[in-house]
Amino acid sequence: MLKRLLTIIAANDGTSSLDWLAREMGVPLAMAEQLMAELVRMGYLRLGLAACTPVGCAACPARVSCHPPTGVGLWELTDRGRRLLTESPSS
Amino acid sequence: MTEGRHPKIVTVALAGTPNTGKSTVFNALTGLRQHVGNWPGKTVEKKSGICQRDGKVFSVVDLPGSYSLGANSTEEEIARDFLARERPDIVVAIVDASSLERNLYLVCELLQLGVPMVVALNMMDVARSGGLEVDAGALEAALGVPVVPMVARNGQGIQQLLESIEAVAEGETASPVDGPRLSPAVQPLLAKLDAAVPADLDIPYPRRWALVKLLEGDPSIRRSMKAALPPDAWERIRNILHQHEQAMLEIASSRYDWAAETYRRAVGRPGGENISLGERADRLLTHPLGGLIAFAAMVFGIYWLMFNLGAPMQGWLNDNVVVRSADALEDALRGWPDWSTSLLANGLIGGAGLVLTFIPILAILFLALAILEDVGYMARAAFVMDRFMHRVGLRGQSFLPLFLGWGCNVPAIMGSRIVESRAARLTTILVTPLVPCAARMVVIALFTAAFFGGAAVLVSWSMVMMNLAVLALAALLISRFVFRGQDSSFVMEIPRYHAPNIRTVLLATGERVRRFVMLAGTVILAMSLVVWAFSSFPSNDVGDSILGHIGRGLAPVGGLMGLDWRMMVALLTSFVAKEQTIATLRVILGTGDGANGALKTELTSIMVPAAAVSFIALQMLFVPCAASVAAIRQETRSWRWTGFAVGYMLTISFAVAIVIYQVARLFGLGV
């Protein structure tokens, strides 16, 4: 299930929404969040952005999906995640 | 179980994810017979209590909430150490029925731990109200342990739970030995690890469970294992683990697969099928094509409001405040030197004052943006635009700064710092000034209203769409020929829809209007005075002034777009701030004919509609304001890239404006 989720994320053209991923996976949104957290813990996804901006929270472009203090609701596929899919894409 | 002269004491551990009603069940079971302290060596609260039934004594321990038996937090480590090391007689897994699939992961781990278990299926009422019918019997059959449906906060199911606990304590129900099976791919690896670990290993955890956790990369188990093993044995195990890093993924996946399958058996359909109204709306608003159309319609709607509500107010302010104030000032200063009257009436009131009359139009724009943002739509718009941008070479994180650019380009350029890849960051910085900022909206509002009347909304909207198209093309070319960074994959959480908070919306709108007023009262005011000075010296005739000479130098270029030298000067001063265009035109035109007539009328007398469209396009695509250029320099840390940004925008803006003018003439707009 986790690898399938990674595959969908990597295969999608552009940024995916968590809601869309949950629908694709056929799981509730809360479950999708848990799967994402699991993949972050394993190092296949990275949560958040490269850096906070100098413009402050009120003017930060990421505020639309930011949930202080837990972080920004934006995940990125890591090199480790990409490597996993390259090394064993079929499973 | 503890036996002796006293009654048997059965230890019952309450486990569950946070917010499943665990404390409610604990209170219902123990009543006032509770003890609250801390877990040894931790600052996490430990609650335990006594429950008596039919002469039997149960010692109930409320474990900290945890999503798994990993060691991802202090709470999880406490819970799993108690379960794996203390081995309570019975575990009661409190499960939120309304979020069953998510809760089943922990249940899976508890089953794999092999402790006698009862599942308390709590919040059945919440599940039902959400349209979820959980079949407790089917779940019990799937799990192989007693399942008690409950609504703990009403006390429903507490007696049945006690009966089930008692039955398990008496050994009347069997518990699975190994629990859900791990992925077949993991079994040989587990056997390999088992062979590598000495049989007499002394660690405080069940052996097989500890080996699985080792494969999952659990740091706490690794430490225990390393401490208990000779260095060479640990090195062998470490090598096995290093060669099979994917095992953790396989193990977790097998648990999630099991959870999904168990959920289907208990609920009868896959998860995620309850479609809310918001989700239905999202199917359109975040659809690759439908979302773009909805976004374009939204922009059109905002412009419609700006022109139909804001423009009349702007006209009223201009006629009744600016023009009358300037006239009154001229009357009051009759007899003063001409230059001083001109400075105050044209430079001060005519320039900066006129810019302030655009507050109603901008306030509508800011209010609309604040409402859409607070409702949750802007995150969707950003998401849709991102998919579109991705097709033209921009990377995932770029859309966030681009989205911010609708208000002002400066924070948007600075916001590009969130983009990690240098290539993607530079691309974002270079195209962000093409996002039509609010200041440009002011200029558009003036020109489209003056030249196109009822079609002003359509022309304005078309100009915004043109900017986005140019932005997409620029991004495509830059990413194709300048940078070739690696693509990346992102997932974004889209916030829930909710009713706008009036206070938040008004505060955001007020703050943006305040910034605009501050800008008009400082930079634009000062620049208006400079423009006035340049247009009044050395001669009162603006044509022979310093500004006149500069303008005539630009006239040949302007001629290609049907623009005379005054328009070129106005364009030039927009480098200070986009709104300065209006203030400069007011100063120049006011100085030229000595009257305080409406600027719109004066504009139509010096240019044809084809030139007006050309000028609007020029303004939309022209070099951004000085503050934005400074931000580009700061973020790129390169004069070369700053020069590139200025150069390519100059080229594009003039090229597009010339083409528009020439084509518009062909369609008869050049007369």
Query: Mind listing the pLDDT tens digit for each residue in B196-211?
Result: 888 887 778 888 888 8
User: Do residue B234 and residue B314 come from a single domain?
Assistant: no
pLDDT > 80? residue B379: no
Cis link prior to A69 (omega < 30° from 0)?
yes
pLDDT band at B487 (very low <50, low <70, confident <90, very high): low
Q: For B370-389, what is the mean pLDDT?
A: 78
Q: Tell me which chain B residues have a C-beta less than 8 angstroms from the C-beta of A65.
A: 379, 492-495
Return the amino acid letter for B157.
G
Q: Tell me which chain A residues have a C-beta less than 8 angstroms from the C-beta of B102.
A: 28, 30-31, 34
Q: Is A57 on the interface with B (CB under 8 A)?
A: no
**CA closest to B497 among chain A residues:** A64
Mutate to test the interface with A, among B77, B417, B491, B515 (most CBs of A within 10 A): B491
- Looking up residue B196, the CATH number of its domain turns out to be 1.10.287.1770
**Structural domain contains residue A70:** no
User: Do residue B656 and residue B626 come from a single domain?
Assistant: yes
- Residue B369 has what pLDDT? 82
**Structural domain contains residue B111:** yes
More confident residue, B131 or B144: B144
**Structural domain contains residue A53:** no
Partner residue facing A61 (CB), from B246, B400, B489: B400
Q: What is the DSSP letter of B286?
A: T
**Structural domain contains residue B4:** no
Partner residue facing B387 (CB), from A15, A35, A51: A15
Report d(CA B149, CA B52) in Å as an integer. Answer: 22
More confident residue, B387 or B321: B321
Q: Is A86 on the interface with B (CB under 8 A)?
A: no
| Domain termination site, one of B208, B235, B267 | B267
More confident residue, B169 or B671: B169
**Structural domain contains residue A60:** no
pLDDT > 60? residue B595: no
**Structural domain contains residue B273:** no
Phi and psi (nearest 5°) for A40?
-65, -45
pLDDT band at B596 (very low <50, low <70, confident <90, very high): very low
Range of the domain at A24: 2-48+76-87
More confident residue, B6 or B336: B336
**Structural domain contains residue A8:** yes
User: Do residue B215 and residue B303 come from a single domain?
Assistant: no
- Residue B229 has what pLDDT? 84
> B48 forms bridges with which residues in the sheet?
B35, B61
**Structural domain contains residue A59:** no
User: Do residue B525 and residue B658 come from a single domain?
Assistant: yes
pLDDT > 80? residue B566: yes
pLDDT band at B147 (very low <50, low <70, confident <90, very high): very high
**Structural domain contains residue B321:** yes
**Structural domain contains residue B284:** no
- Residue A73 has what pLDDT? 66
More confident residue, B660 or B205: B660
- Residue B577 has what pLDDT? 79
User: Do residue B505 and residue B541 come from a single domain?
Assistant: yes
- Residue B95 has what pLDDT? 94
Report d(CA B208, CA B226) in Å as an integer. Answer: 16
Q: For B154-160, what is the mean pLDDT?
A: 92
Query: Mind listing the pLDDT tens digit for each residue in A11-49?
Result: 876 677 888 888 888 888 888 888 988 898 888 988 766
**Structural domain contains residue A55:** no
Q: For B286-290, what is the mean pLDDT?
A: 85
Interface contact B102-A53, CB threshold 8 A: no
pLDDT band at B176 (very low <50, low <70, confident <90, very high): low
Q: Tell me which chain B residues have a C-beta less than 8 angstroms from the C-beta of A52.
A: 418
**Structural domain contains residue B371:** yes
Contacts of residue B4, defined as CB under 8 A and 6 or more positions apart, other chains included, come to none
pLDDT > 90? residue B11: yes
- Looking up residue A15, the CATH number of its domain turns out to be 1.10.10
**Structural domain contains residue B285:** no
- Residue B201 has what pLDDT? 78
**Structural domain contains residue B478:** yes
Single pTM value for the model? 0.67
CA B504 to chain centre: 17
Convert B223-268 into a string of H (helix), E (strand) and C (coil).
HHHHHHCCHHHHHHHHHHHHHCCCHHHHHHHHHHHHHHHHHHHHHC
User: Do residue B404 and residue B362 come from a single domain?
Assistant: yes
Q: For B168-188, what is the mean pLDDT?
A: 73
- Looking up residue B67, the CATH number of its domain turns out to be 3.40.50.300
Query: B72: helix, coil or strand?
Result: coil
In the numeric block, the tokens 């039902």 are attached to: B128
pLDDT > 90? residue B654: yes
User: Do residue B418 and residue B554 come from a single domain?
Assistant: yes
Write down the mean pLDDT value for chain B: 82
Partner residue facing A75 (CB), from B373, B415, B491: B491
- Residue B46 has what pLDDT? 80
Q: For B225-253, what is the mean pLDDT?
A: 86
User: Do residue B440 and residue B585 come from a single domain?
Assistant: yes
Question: How many CA atoms lie less than 13 Å away from B309 in the CB half-sphere?
Answer: 15
Query: Mind listing the pLDDT tens digit for each residue in A68-86?
Result: 544 556 788 888 888 888 8
pLDDT > 80? residue B297: yes
DSSP string covering A38-88: HHHHHTSEEES-S---TT-GGG-GGGGGEETTTEESEEEE-HHHHHHHHHS
pLDDT band at A67 (very low <50, low <70, confident <90, very high): low
Partner residue facing A14 (CB), from B390, B402, B418: B390
Interface contact B102-A36, CB threshold 8 A: no
Range of the domain at B63: 9-169
* Nearest CA distance, A69 vs chain B (angstrom): 15
- Residue B453 has what pLDDT? 79
**Structural domain contains residue A67:** no
Q: For B413-434, what is the mean pLDDT?
A: 82
Number of domains present in the structure of chain A: 1
Tokens of B397: 């994180």
Angle (nearest 5°) at CA B366 between B428 and B459: 75
Q: Is A47 on the interface with B (CB under 8 A)?
A: no
User: Do residue B147 and residue B204 come from a single domain?
Assistant: no
Number of domains present in the structure of chain B: 3
User: Do residue B556 and residue B654 come from a single domain?
Assistant: yes
Q: Is A5 on the interface with B (CB under 8 A)?
A: no
Mean pLDDT lowest for which of B233-242, B244-253, B534-543?
A: B534-543
| Domain termination site, one of B110, B138, B169 | B169
**Structural domain contains residue A36:** yes
Interface contact A15-B256, CB threshold 8 A: no
Question: How many CA atoms lie less than 13 Å away from B4 in the CB half-sphere?
Answer: 5
pLDDT > 90? residue B585: no
* Nearest CA distance, B415 vs chain A (angstrom): 5
Query: Mind listing the pLDDT tens digit for each residue in B300-346?
Result: 898 888 888 887 888 788 778 877 887 788 788 877 877 777 777 76
User: Do residue B505 and residue B376 come from a single domain?
Assistant: yes
- Residue B16 has what pLDDT? 93
